[in-house]
Structure 1
Amino acid sequence: MRKKSEERRQAMIDVAAQVFNEIGFEGASMAEISARIGGSKATLYNYFSSKEEIFVEVMLKQVGCQFEQAFSALNDEDDVRQGLLRLARHYLDIVLKPEVIAVKRLAMYYAGKSDLGPMLYERGPKRGWTRIAEFLKRKMDEGKLHQGDAWIAALQFRSLVESEWMDVRMLNVVTELPADQLQASAERAVEAFVYLYQPR
């Protein structure tokens, strides 16, 4: 029964994705989604409390697994520098993809109009960067990084990794992303971070 329930939930997410793609987040409604599914709104609300919640699930299904791969690039046995470089490179490959940029633009647009922004943040970036903070804390405790607030350190690392690309990508100034340039910027970000948090 539980398997069927999850299959139905995933089918609802797939239908909702079609609705959002066709008429956008603002134009979509729970009534439209339930009509496409062929059930009642009450059934849809049994699975999702709001349009925002189902949209978050759609976005996570579309891009969440890619971020999971990036955040899984670290393991405890890693040399700090090499581990962070692998993470930075994976992260840039994913966060600059057109579909991810589109989600980020949409979340920012609706951030002040609905609960969409906070919900996406809690289910997406916050979870991922919490894992990175946990890795950094372990390395701090091992004496391989200077002791500090690991959450702040994770956010500083993210800022360094994104710094050369995010604004120009979000504003569509840059559309081509040469692999060698991404690699070089990842290396610069890691060097700056390791220098900042070198043991002392």
Structure 2
Amino acid sequence: MATEVFLERGYEATSMSEIATRVGGSKATLYNYFASKEELFLVVMKGWAQERMMQAFGSLVPGGDLAVTLQTFGEHFLKNVLTPDLLVVRGIVMGEGPRSGMGKMFLENGPALGWEQLAGFLEGEMEAGRLRPGKPLRAALHLINLLEADFLELFITGVADLPGDEQIVESVTEAVRVFLHGYSKTR
């Protein structure tokens, strides 16, 4: 229920009283579990985002066709990252983050965990000789940024409509091609 309230109303407009009312409990009970609205937001959004991204990061299986694996990962990743509700969450964190520790806590407990998982996969591919040696976390961030490059800013700002599956496939194909051009051992 708290997730829905944050997504509907945004962080600032959401109150602990409203969340307590929606879940059918008291505000005091809510504060027994969470010290602040910020803590509740982070816990709720972390679980929600992890559930959404599990499929994408779960597709990173070592030893197969690397281009196909990265394509599958990229498509799952973008289909989750570009949902309207996840864009709302990112907007909340970006807006609130500079005023509090929320941005850092969200980053460390959400996206950074995925980046580390991707970095671990890429490190294995580097060690197996399928990618040139390098800094795995930097490579992971390069890939994430290439995947998001065509869409993210446009959708966070509301300038463009969400892409269809065909646009996502095309964009991911190009991002993977550029990534492998930079990181392939055979270049």
Q: Which runs of 5+ in 2 are unaligned?
A: none
Find 1:180's aligned residue among 166, 181, 187: 166
Code of the aligned partner of 2:85: E
Which residue pairs with 1:166 in the alignment?
152
For the pair shown, the structure with the greater C-alpha radius of gyration is 1
**1:38 equivalent in alignment to 2:15:** no
181-190 or 48-57, which moves further after superposition?
A: 48-57
Q: Where do residues 96-175 of structure 1 align in structure 2 (5 Å cutoff)?
A: 96-175=82-161
CA contact (8 A) 2:49 2:110 kept: no
- Measure the CA separation in 2 of the matches of 1:123 and 1:44: 21
Check conservation: 2:15, 2:37, Cα contact below 8 A. yes
Residue deviations 1:51-86 (CA, integer Å, cap 9, x gap): 111112222344431111111111123221111111
State the identity as a percent: 35
Deviates more, 1:176-185 or 1:143-152: 176-185
Return structure 1 stretches of 4+ with deviation > 6 angstroms: none
- Could you state the TM-score of these two structures normalised by the residue count of structure 2? 0.88
2:69 aligned partner:
83
The alignment covers a number of residue pairs equal to: 185
Instruction: Flag structure 1 segments of 5+ consecutive residues without an equivalent.
Output: 1-13
Shift in CA distance, 78/24, structure 1 to aligned 2, threshold 3 Å: same
CA distance in 2, matches of 1:61, 1:114: 20
